[in-house]
Homo-oligomer: A and B are copies of this chain.
């Protein structure tokens, strides 16, 4: 089997999860990870991963901390067929020319602009258009979830217009000092928020407006949708369309999954690595259809949901799999993705 050599630049929330996922793939090899951190985040994996420093300065700092980087980002690039760049916003843009100059492929995260790569990616929606491209952008967690769920209803010919409210987690759970908000909510300073146009980079025909705000919690976003359907329909038809779509899993209030944190605990109980949930969790019993409108709520595990998309994007750019179905099947099996967490 052909094997692609994958390097990861930026070992943060997304980078570390992509690294783990790459190692699960039969057709990929993890060359190593590059970062500028020298603390516990890197020390904890120093024995299990090949380490590179994103900069020469970082290389010296790593050595001063007793770490043994194999080299710098240049060396990682040399050894890799493709780089997944999960460095912070704005840093990534500067790296692009380096990847291009080295003649290797590259994948960026949703914090970058669509224009930077000229292509945005969600596996189920446009895998084939990324085949053999040099670069793509895996869209953000929020946008990925929107494309999965609304895309499913759109593909089923059901969706006319979508109006959503997105309540985002304020910051990631490990962050002590950055981005925390306390005992408040922070609305985005403009309506519409940027997620609508971002989803339209994948599904240009979608009539979509979003309002966003940050909530005072650290794990998972939740989205609340009002959907104008193309016609009056039944709740079952909406559920069937969602059930048929990939990477959506139903949860239910009636199973006691009544809040964001109960789903999070379920992931821990299921033995998921880091407690990750790659699926969009749609509350089945909250899906409501009134005439030609549908209403629904789902939960987005922002730390992990783009990981399978990134794996598929690697396959698309490197021609490892000819179509979305083939790639997604491998990805989903290796990760252990499910359609329902409590039923078979």
Contacts and interface: CB of A to CB of B under 8 A. Distances in A.
B213 A222 contact: yes
Contact of A40 (B177, B181, B255, B286): B255
Interface in A247-298: 253, 255-262, 264-266, 268-271, 273-275, 283, 285-286, 288, 290, 293, 295-297
B342 A261 contact: no
Interface in A298-337: none
Given A186-B176, A211-B297, A257 B40 contact: yes
A26 interface: no
Interface in A169-225: 170-171, 173-177, 179-187, 189-192, 209, 211, 213, 215-219, 222, 224
Nearest to A13: B265
Contacts of A24: none
A275 B275 contact: yes
A43 interface: yes
Interface of A: 16, 37, 39-41, 43-45, 47, 163, 165, 167, 170-171, 173-177, 179-187, 189-192, 209, 211, 213, 215-219, 222, 224, 226, 253, 255-262, 264-266, 268-271, 273-275, 283, 285-286, 288, 290, 293, 295-297, 341-342, 344
Contacts of A258: 176-177, 186-187, 189
Contacts of A259: 176, 181, 184-187
Contacts of A265: 173-174
A209 B266 contact: no
B183 A261 contact: yes
A9 B179 CA distance: 29
A102 B199 CA distance: 61
Given A177-B186, A182-B217, A182-B261, 6 more contacts: A39-B255, A165-B165, A174-B261, A185-B222, A189-B285, A209-B293
25 contacts: A16-B269, A39-B256, A40-B262, A43-B342, A44-B269, A44-B270, A163-B163, A165-B165, A165-B211, A167-B167, A167-B213, A173-B264, A176-B261, A182-B217, A182-B261, A183-B183, A185-B259, A186-B259, A187-B222, A187-B259, A187-B286, A191-B288, A191-B297, A215-B216, A271-B273
A228 B39 CA distance: 33
Contact of A191 (B167, B170, B177, B286): B286
7 closest residue pairs by CB, A with B: A180-B180, A39-B256, A174-B265, A184-B261, A176-B259, A165-B165, A163-B226
Contacts of A342: 40, 43-44
Nearest to A212: B224
A288 to B, nearest CB: 4
Contacts of A180: 170, 179-182
A163 B259 CA distance: 22
Given A224-B165, A268-B274, A269-B274, A183 B262 contact: no
Given A40-B257, A224-B213, A176 B181 contact: yes
A70 B41 CA distance: 45
**Which of A222, A253, A271 has the most C-beta atoms of chain B within 10 angstroms of its own C-beta?**
A222
Contacts of A177: 181, 186, 258
